[in-house]
Structure 1
Amino acid sequence: MLEIIGVGVALIIAAVVLYAARKPDTCRFTRSIFVAAPPERIFPLVDDPRAMNEWNPFVKNRNVTLSYSGPERGVGAANDFDGDAQVGAGRAEIVESVAPAKVVVALRMDRPMKCRNRVEFTIAPRDGGSLVTWDMSGPQPFIGKLMTIFIDTEKMVGGAFEQGLADLKRLVETAREEAAQ
């Protein structure tokens, strides 16, 4: 009887491993929001790591230590972060900055899992404002594939992006209203 249970458990583990191995080798998360402001008003809050961390859900209101290096904004502006298990530790550095339309960040995670991702913010003019898109992509190692079987990373990361973009929108639109008064 124990032999049958052992074979059954081994088959289940093999099926899970095979299923994980067949998942894509890359991951991508994208969210967008309309902000009632021109790109020029939004761009400084994305192109400056200090300003970005005012609305970045991965560090905002969390137990995290931040240190900044390089220029204040634009290419080379960076921040190192070290936080709890939810935040992890790593570095985010701006590697491309095209005012007022795009900022690309190289994100290196050292823990809880090592990875390197490309994070891109695009700010496209629209009638009455701008469409802000937050996109992150990178390789997905086997352990990441395995995790996605048990954790809905699309919902987890996408939800954080949605919260961050909503906070960015609120920050920009509130500043616009205050300036108008």
Structure 2
Amino acid sequence: MIKTVLLVVVAAIALLLIVAATRPDTFRVERSTTIAAPAERLFPLINDLRAFNTWNPYARKDPAMKAEYSGPQAGPGAVFNFQGNKEVGKGRISITDSSAPSSVAMQLDMWEPFEGHNEVNFTLVPDGAGTRVTWAMHGPSAFITKLMGLFFNMDQMIGKDFEAGLANLKQLAEKA
């Protein structure tokens, strides 16, 4: 009896590992909203990491997080190193490219709680009297991420944060 239970448990674990291994090697999370403000007003709130962190939902999750800025104030080369609670983790975000007022590209390197190296892109496109802002992140899916994805919907978890951040940006920009 114990031998049968043990074989079933081993088979179930093996099946989970096999299914995880067949999941995509990359991921992409993307959310968009339209903000009643011109791209010229929104762009500096993304392209300057200090301004970015006034509406960034991850910065709001740990007001006591250790933060260090380096490089230029804004644009390519601007860097933000952070170490926070378990919701924030430890990592670095840097602006790798920007084109006023339509796009900002960033590199997000995380070391805790899981290592990850992802690209983050913001695009700003005129939309009627406002601007359509899209926040996207993509990168490789490590095996642990694939395995976790069997139990947690990563798109919904990260997407929820992106939605909150875009709502914060909208509130900030529309009151200005």
Counterpart for residue 29 of structure 1 = 29
Whole-Å Cα distance in 2 between the matches of residues 13 and 129 of structure 1?
50
Task: Kindly report which structure 2 residues correspond to 1:1-181, keeping only aligned pairs within 5 A, or say none.
Answer: 1-62=1-62, 63-175=64-176
Q: Secondary structure at the match of 1:116?
A: strand
Q: Secondary structure at the match of 1:170?
A: helix
- Letter in structure 2 aligned against 1:133: T
| Native 8 Å contact 2:61 2:87 kept in 1 | no
Q: CA deviation at 1:61?
A: 4.4
Q: CA deviation at 1:52?
A: 0.3
String of CA shifts for 1:3-54, please: whole Å, max 9, x gaps. 0000000111011101100100001100000000110010000000000000
Q: Secondary structure at the match of 1:125?
A: strand
Whole-Å Cα distance in 2 between the matches of residues 110 and 13 of structure 1?
27
- Identity across matched positions, percent: 45
Unaligned runs of 5+ in 1: 176-181
Q: CA deviation at 1:152?
A: 1.4
Q: How many equivalent pairs are there? A: 175
- Letter in structure 1 aligned against 2:95: I
Q: Secondary structure at the match of 1:79?
A: strand
CA gap 1:115/1:61 in 2 versus in 1, 3 angstroms: closer
String of CA shifts for 1:111-155, please: whole Å, max 9, x gaps. 111110000000001111100000000000101100111111111
Unaligned runs of 5+ in 2: none
Q: CA deviation at 1:86?
A: 1.2
Task: With the length of structure 1 as denominator, give the TM-score of the two structures.
Answer: 0.95
Whole-Å Cα distance in 2 between the matches of residues 61 and 136 of structure 1?
19
Q: Secondary structure at the match of 1:149?
A: coil
Q: Secondary structure at the match of 2:72?
A: coil
Whole-Å Cα distance in 2 between the matches of residues 118 and 61 of structure 1?
21
